[in-house]
């Protein structure tokens, strides 16, 4: 079966992301006026950079592959936009500025993320970290890459992660979103922590979290919220790099399903053992 995008089209996605980041996002970084920052909900920021970047990126993606685009900001304005993700069709997902709170605070820990969903399954992912210039990308059946270099579990692990693991004689710690979990889930996650070797907090930017995972800076990720634009790109990249992303109750990951058991991303050879510990402590 031929990949859904050829090499030129895959490269065009990354180029479009870089162009939009340079034109609409980076000039606003650490230069936002107060009236350029708005709240969609408690702690949920949207800025002029988010809005303008999504407006610019959406038509560029449709020029590459003319299918619906499920953007975070478009969906915030009209929730029906995301309905295509539950069908057997193909769609892009866009998070124009992932980690908007970090962006507002002037932290470089933000990303531009594009995903591709086919028949309800993540099949493509692109994560650009604009201030670092790093690009992670993958397409089902083609492989996963960081800045053009092949990326697979155990092959492209960072030197720092390898050194730390060697000194400790163990896997890197996981990163878990305990802070935003509801009471019962929070209790279960905390109960599982000693068995799993302790947790770090997530970076508040899935584009950096998934990058940390596939370079083995962290051992696993657990999320209690699963917006498609946050997870489709990372799930596609992780799958091609030797990792598994799925619900702790064993139900897998479907981008159209935003609620349910926590989402676990881990190296495939460790995924089930971590899932079992979490499920037991969560009563699943």
Does the structure show a pLDDT above 90 at 180? Answer: no
pLDDT digits (tens, 9 = 90+) for 122-144: 999 999 999 999 999 999 999 99
| 81-100 average pLDDT score | 95
Domains of the chain with CATH codes:
7-150 (3.30.540.10), 159-282 (3.40.190.80)
Given the structure tokens 């209690």, which residue do they identify? 224
**pLDDT digit string (tens) for 62-74?**
999 999 999 999 9
Q: Average the pLDDT over 168-188 and give the result.
A: 87
Interval 2-61: pLDDT, tens: 889 999 999 999 999 999 999 999 999 999 988 888 887 777 789 999 999 999 999 999
- Name the DSSP letter for residue 169: T
Task: Read off the tokens for 242.
Answer: 């030797």
Per DSSP, the residues of 9-30 read HHHHHHHHHHHHIIIIIGGGTT
Determine phi and psi for 255, rounding to 5 degrees. Answer: -55, -30
- CA distances 33 to 38, 49, 54, 179, 258, Å, are 11, 11, 19, 29, 33
Q: How confident is the model at residue 163 (pLDDT cuts 50, 70, 90)?
A: very low
């Amino acid at each position: 079966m031929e990949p859904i995008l050829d090499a030129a089209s895959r490269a065009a996605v990354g180029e479009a992301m870089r162009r939009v980041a340079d034109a609409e996002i980076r000039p606003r970084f650490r230069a936002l006026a107060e009236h350029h920052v708005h709240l969609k909900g408690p702690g949920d920021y949207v800025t002029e950079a988010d809005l303008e970047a999504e407006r610019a990126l959406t038509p560029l993606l449709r020029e590459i592959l003319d299918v619906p685009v499920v953007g975070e900001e478009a969906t915030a304005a009209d929730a029906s936009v995301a309905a295509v993700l539950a069908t057997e069709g193909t769609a892009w997902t866009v998070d124009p500025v992932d980690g908007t709170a970090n962006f507002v605070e002037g932290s470089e820990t933000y990303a531009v993320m594009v995903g591709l969903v086919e028949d309800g399954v993540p099949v493509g992912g692109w994560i650009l970290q604009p201030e670092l210039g790093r690009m992670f990308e993958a397409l089902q059946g083609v492989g996963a890459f960081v800045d053009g270099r092949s990326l697979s579990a155990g092959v492209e692990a960072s030197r720092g992660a390898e050194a730390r693991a060697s000194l400790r004689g163990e896997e890197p710690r996981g990163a878990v979103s305990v802070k935003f979990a509801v009471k019962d889930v929070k209790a279960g996650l905390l109960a599982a922590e000693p068995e799993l070797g302790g947790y770090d907090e997530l970076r508040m930017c899935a584009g950096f979290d998934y990058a940390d995972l596939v370079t083995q800076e962290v051992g696993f990720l657990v999320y209690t919220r699963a917006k498609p634009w946050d997870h489709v790109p990372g799930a596609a990249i992780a799958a091609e790099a030797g990792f598994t992303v799925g619900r702790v109750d064993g139900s897998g990951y479907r981008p159209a399903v935003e609620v349910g058991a926590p989402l676990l991303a881990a190296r495939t050879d460790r995924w089930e053992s971590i899932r079992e510990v979490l499920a037991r402590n969560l009563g699943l």
